[in-house]
Every structure is written in structure tokens, then in C-alpha cells.
């Protein structure tokens, strides 16, 4: 027998699916978890046994395999059915972390979701006429009065908002975009790709660092559909640059009778200086200059549910709403419930700063965060004392999600360094951050300057954090 034949003959000791399915204990499992789930798990365990046989010279007896099969099968089923989508503690220092779900919702929004989700509602029903209504009816008036727009509509996210606008107003036409604004927002959002998928042709104008109004005028022709400008908030072009003034673009698009659209990315409904952040133009200010439409995300600086807001000219919004794609991109009732509750909070700006978690966290000062660090420090230090040195440190957090440039938020946190100058401190840091992620409520940290950094800007539940830290196993690190 050659080696392959030998392995194959050992594989034959792994019981077949039908044989396992007939075992009384497995029949019991099927009655609870269902046939498909159990069969899938059996196949996984079989392949695990094959891997063990391949990589070891051990001879398994039939009985040994049978004895191990059922416990392993139960483990696999438990893995498959385990709750995998769960809350985490975001100590990365990035307040609006796209991978961690961006904005957390205010409690009023949660209440509203729960009420609407558990009952029939007038989602698309006009209670006066008793006829079909429009789901935008719950949002449009409030939103328009907050940002001074003629009309507005809300869709699944900002990317959908852009595709919808482009497809409604410039399908098979050219869209003029400055070369300095052909942005990627991380992950899957690249402006040129969005344009193409909306059925538009990208017409780049100017250069990466300099664009003039003449560039737009020269690119303009019978095939021009609209001008699009995107706020390039996650990077900055410095040095020898020239950006066309919006006022000049508005003058040009009005004269040429084409719409001017601005993708704000993040739009705030309060004056950011109240959060000690640099002033940004608000959606209201941008619209008041005469821009035809703006778009922004609901779950960035706004601090609400994932959605994309389109606001501006009424005639354009009504064309957009007639596009069949708007049916495909519409928000669900839970989003609308959360968004209406959010807008209600914004009617009182002072309330907004305290009740909307995103704003509350952004407003925290370094001193306040330092105090949190001082409160949690003793427990963290004592739990990790055998393996690490823990220090209170100053650091910088980010707004995140392409909202506002560079690191500008002064923050504080805990720095965790390996105790002994281990040669493999990189491995220590990776292992420890993995252990932090494996906790029942995972702690997401960042590694910076040879240490694990827990930026405490976003820590609100200190008790929960301490409870997790105490569950961290330090055994594997003692060497
Ligand atoms: C974030 C962002 C987008 C994408 O918004 P989503 O709501 O994530 O779809 C588009 N444009 C800009 C400028 C952004 O900052």
C-alpha cells in the first residue's frame, strides 16, 4: 500500500453520514436543530477527522472515532448556532467607526423603533384620506425646516442617494467632477465606480491639485448632465492647489441650466463649535448658496440610523422619487422610526448634544476622559500586573467615517506595554489584543507605538468594561 492508499483506508474508519444520522443520540439532535443543520455539522466533523488523520500517524480505532464524533458534533452545532452579531466596546478612538456600526442611537430612537416594529403603523397610509400615503411624509417637513430645503427624501444610505440622483438626472450623460475630488471613502465606495454603476459617464475636469472654473466651462457640452462635487473630508491636498469657488460653479451651472450636486458626506444639524470641533458649513448654509441638491449620511455626524438624505430643489426631488430605483433604495420602517425620533431631538439643539451619543462622545474634553482613565486604571493595572505595565496616557481620537480630516480630538486612555522587554513584544501585543476581542463583550483596541492603546473617549459603561477586563485570561502570557 502506498501512502495515499494508506490514508484512504484510514478515512474509511470515519463513519458515513447515513450511519451517524441513524444513531439515537443524533436523531434527538435532529428533532431540535433540524436535519439540514445536523447534516452540515456532520460533514464538518468528518472533514476535521480527515485533517487529523492526514496530519498524524495515529491509528484511530473505529470505536475511538465513534466516541469522539458525537461530542465534536455537538460542539460544531453550538458554534454554528452561536450568537455572532453582538455589541462591542469601541476603544479604538474612532468615534464613527464604520466597521463597528458607526453611530449608536439615542434612547428615544430605540423606543420609537421598538414601537413601530411591533405594531402596524401609518407608514404609507394617510390617516386623513384613508388612502395610500408616502413614507417620506413622516420626515420631510421636519427635515426641510431644520435645513431650509424646499424638498427632501431619504434612502438606504448616502451611496444609494448618489446613485439615485445620478441615475435620475444624468443617465447616459456626462457628469463633471474635479480630478481632486475623485474620492474613495474606504471599503467599497469609490466615486468613479458609483458614477459608472448609475449609468453616467465620468468627465474629469482640472488636475489633482488645481481646478479652475474654465476647466468646467471647457468640458461643458450637449452631453453634460450635471456637476458633482464631493467633500473630500478624509484627506487634504496641501501646497500648490486651486479649488473652484462654489459660488463660481453655481454661476456656471445656473447659466448652463444643469444641476449642481454636492455630496457632503457628513452633515451636521448643530454648530460643531459647540462640540469644540472646527466649524463646518451646515447643510442649510450650503443649500442657501444656491446648490441644487445635497446629500449626506444619517449615521455619521448626524448620529442617527443608516440612511442617505437628499435635499434641495423640489422639481429635482420629484423626478428622483419617480425613478423605479427609489423603490429599491427606500428605507425600512425601523429606520424611519429612528430618524423621526432623532429629528425631534434636534428641534432642541441643547438636548441634542446630550442625548445623541455621537455628539455626546465628540464633545468630551481630554480632562473628562482623563478622569475616566483614572477611575478604571487601578482595576486594569492590578488585573494585568503579572504580564503588563499599564499607564494613563494622553492620545488623539478621530471622528471617523471620512467626517472631518485628520486626528483633531484630544483624548486620554490606557497604554498597555509588555512587562518584560520580550523579544517578541509584537506577538504579545497581537495576542493580548486578540484576547481582548475574545471577551464576552469584545474590547476593540488599537496598537500604537509598541503598546496597546485603549482610547477611553467612547467608554460610557465603566462597570461593564471592568467586568470584561476581570475576565481576561492572563495565564497564557506568563512565561
Ligand atoms: C461616507 C461618505 C459617503 C458614503 O456614505 P454611506 O452613507 O456610507 O453610503 C459618500 N460620500 C462621502 C463624501 C462620504 O464621506
CA of 75 from ligand 1 middle (Å) equals: 41
Q: Quick check: CB of 157 below 6 Å from ligand 1?
A: yes
Q: How many CA atoms lie within 13 A of 225 on its CB side?
A: 22
Q: Quick check: CB of 158 below 6 Å from ligand 1?
A: yes
The number of the ligand 1 atom at minimal distance from the alpha carbon of 307 is: 7
Cα-based distances in Å from 402 to 34, 96, 261, 397: 45, 9, 19, 13
- Tell me what the mean pLDDT of segment 304-314 comes to: 98
Cα-based distances in Å from 49 to 38, 60, 72: 16, 10, 10
For the chain, give percent helix, strand, coil, nearest 5: 50, 15, 35
Predicted confidence at residue 49, as pLDDT, reads 86
Tell me the C-alpha distance between 326 and 280, whole Å.
Answer: 29
Residue from 233, 265, 299, 331 to probe ligand 1 pocket by mutation (most atoms less than 8 Å from CB): 265
Whether the pLDDT of residue 421 is over 70: the answer is no
Whether the pLDDT of residue 59 is over 70: the answer is no
Q: What angle do CA 114, 118, 120 make, to 5 degrees?
A: 125
Q: Quick check: CB of 206 below 6 Å from ligand 1?
A: no
Average pLDDT, the chain: 91
Whether the pLDDT of residue 335 is over 90: the answer is yes
Tell me the C-alpha distance between 303 and 358, whole Å.
Answer: 5
Look at 173 and 23; give whichever has higher pLDDT: 173
Whether the pLDDT of residue 338 is over 90: the answer is yes
Q: What percent of the chain is predicted at pLDDT more than 70?
A: 95
Q: Quick check: CB of 189 below 6 Å from ligand 1?
A: yes
Please write the tens of the pLDDT for every residue from 355-401.
Answer: 999 999 999 999 999 999 999 999 999 999 999 999 999 999 999 87
Residue minimizing CA distance to atom 12 of ligand 1: 265
Among 11-25, 33-47, 222-236, 403-417, the range with the most confident prediction by mean pLDDT is 33-47
Whether the pLDDT of residue 104 is over 90: the answer is yes
Predicted confidence at residue 478, as pLDDT, reads 65
Predicted confidence at residue 198, as pLDDT, reads 97
Backbone CA torsion sign across 265, 232, 92, 460: negative
Look at 209 and 21; give whichever has higher pLDDT: 21
The number of the ligand 1 atom at minimal distance from the alpha carbon of 162 is: 10
Whether the pLDDT of residue 458 is over 80: the answer is yes
Predicted confidence at residue 57, as pLDDT, reads 65
Phi, psi of 297 (to 5 degrees): -85, 150
What is the model's pTM? 0.90
Tell me the C-alpha distance between 412 and 455, whole Å.
Answer: 6
Amino acid at each position: 500500500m502506498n501512502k495515499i492508499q494508506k490514508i484512504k483506508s484510514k478515512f474509511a474508519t470515519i463513519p458515513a453520514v447515513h450511519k451517524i444520522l441513524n444513531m439515537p443520540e443524533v436523531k434527538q439532535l435532529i428533532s431540535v436543530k433540524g436535519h439540514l443543520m445536523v447534516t452540515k455539522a456532520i460533514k464538518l466533523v468528518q472533514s476535521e477527522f480527515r485533517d487529523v488523520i492526514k496530519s498524524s500517524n495515529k491509528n484511530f480505532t473505529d470505536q475511538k472515532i465513534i466516541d469522539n464524533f458525537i461530542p465534536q458534533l455537538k460542539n460544531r452545532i453550538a458554534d454554528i448556532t452561536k450568537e455572532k452579531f453582538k455589541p462591542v466596546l469601541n476603544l479604538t478612538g474612532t468615534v464613527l467607526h464604520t466597521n463597528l456600526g458607526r453611530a449608536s442611537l439615542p434612547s428615544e430612537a430605540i423606543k420609537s423603533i421598538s414601537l413601530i416594529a411591533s405594531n402596524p403603523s401609518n407608514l404609507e397610509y394617510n390617516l386623513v384620506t384613508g388612502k395610500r400615503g408616502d413614507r417620506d411624509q413622516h420626515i420631510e417637513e421636519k427635515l426641510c425646516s431644520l435645513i431650509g430645503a424646499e424638498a427632501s427624501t431619504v434612502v438606504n444610505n448616502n451611496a444609494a442617494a448618489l446613485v439615485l440622483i445620478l441615475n435620475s438626472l444624468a443617465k447616459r450623460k456626462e457628469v463633471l467632477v474635479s480630478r481632486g475630488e475623485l474620492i474613495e471613502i474606504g471599503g467599497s465606495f469609490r466615486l468613479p465606480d458609483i458614477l459608472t454603476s448609475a449609468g453616467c459617464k465620468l468627465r474629469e475636469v482640472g488636475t489633482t491639485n488645481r481646478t479652475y472654473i474654465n476647466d468646467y466651462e471647457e468640458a461643458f457640452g450637449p452631453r453634460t448632465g450635471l456637476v458633482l462635487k464631493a467633500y473630500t473630508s478624509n484627506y487634504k491636498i496641501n501646497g500648490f492647489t486651486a479649488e473652484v469657488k462654489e459660488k463660481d460653479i453655481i454661476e456656471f451651472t445656473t447659466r448652463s441650466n444643469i444641476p449642481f450636486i454636492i455630496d457632503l458626506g457628513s452633515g451636521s444639524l448643530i454648530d460643531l463649535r459647540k462640540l469644540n470641533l472646527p466649524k463646518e458649513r451646515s447643510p442649510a448654509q450650503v443649500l442657501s448658496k444656491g446648490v441644487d441638491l445635497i446629500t449626506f449620511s444619517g449615521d455619521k455626524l448626524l448620529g442617527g440610523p443608516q440612511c442617505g438624505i437628499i435635499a434641495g430643489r423640489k422639481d429635482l426631488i420629484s423626478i428622483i422619487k419617480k425613478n423605479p430605483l427609489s423603490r429599491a433604495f427606500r428605507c425600512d420602517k425601523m429606520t424611519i422610526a429612528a430618524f423621526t425620533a432623532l429629528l425631534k431631538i434636534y428641534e432642541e439643539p441643547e438636548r441634542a448634544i446630550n442625548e445623541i451619543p455621537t455628539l455626546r462622545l465628540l464633545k468630551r474634553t481630554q480632562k473628562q476622559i482623563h478622569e475616566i482613565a483614572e477611575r478604571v486604571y487601578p482595576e486594569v493595572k492590578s488585573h494585568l500586573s503579572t504580564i503588563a505595565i499599564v499607564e494613563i496616557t494622553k492620545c488623539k481620537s478621530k471622528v471617523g467615517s471620512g467626517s472631518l480630516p485628520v486626528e483633531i480630538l484630544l483624548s486620554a486612555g490606557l497604554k498597555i506595554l509588555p512587562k518584560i522587554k520580550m523579544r517578541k513584544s509584537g506577538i504579545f501585543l497581537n495576542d493580548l489584543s486578540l484576547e481582548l476581542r475574545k471577551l464576552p463583550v469584545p474590547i476593540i483596541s488599537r496598537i500604537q507605538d509598541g503598546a496597546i492603546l485603549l482610547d477611553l473617549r467612547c467608554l460610557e459603561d465603566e462597570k461593564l468594561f471592568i467586568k470584561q477586563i476581570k475576565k481576561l485570561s492572563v495565564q497564557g502570557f506568563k512565561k
